[in-house]
Structure 1
Amino acid sequence: MANQLLHLVMGGRVTDPMTCEFQDLKDIHVVGFYDNYAAAEEAWRGWAQRTVDDAEMKYVIVHLHRLLEPKLPGQ
């Protein structure tokens, strides 16, 4: 059985555009959870492009499968 590759796309205001330190955790926008990177990237790209003119807004893809099972083959 193949392992599920779970991804989270989220974003919000950051304290510094060079970091991923979010200003207020209660205001983080959870875009959604995706079972493959391509779908997560598509969602991330859409939200990142919507906020491209706001340097304090950052959207990221979190590889949840790496946090849940860090020793999966090929990871």
Structure 2
Amino acid sequence: MVMVNMFEAKSSLSRLVEDVESGRESEIIIARSGRPAARLVPITSQPPVERRIGVAKDKFVLPDSIDALNDAIAEMFHGKSE
């Protein structure tokens, strides 16, 4: 664990991030007036997001005209209009 002061962190942020990313340092503590204030750590790798396109394929049947039931659906929400 390395501790750097705020001025050094501002001056060499790119190098500090590179040190953490590459694994040269597991964490870097940034101090203000000699007291620890923040911790710079690498982000753990996250699994890739699964493919979402087509997740509902073959899960339901789409009618030929999706607008055919608009009036019936409107009645369910708003009641029968006279």
The TM-score bracket by the shorter chain reads under 0.3
Structure with bigger strand share is 1
Bigger relative CO (Cα 8 Å, ≥ 6 apart): 1
Which entry has the higher C-alpha Rg, 1 or 2? 2
**Given the two structures, how large is their TM-score scaled by the length of structure 1?**
0.27
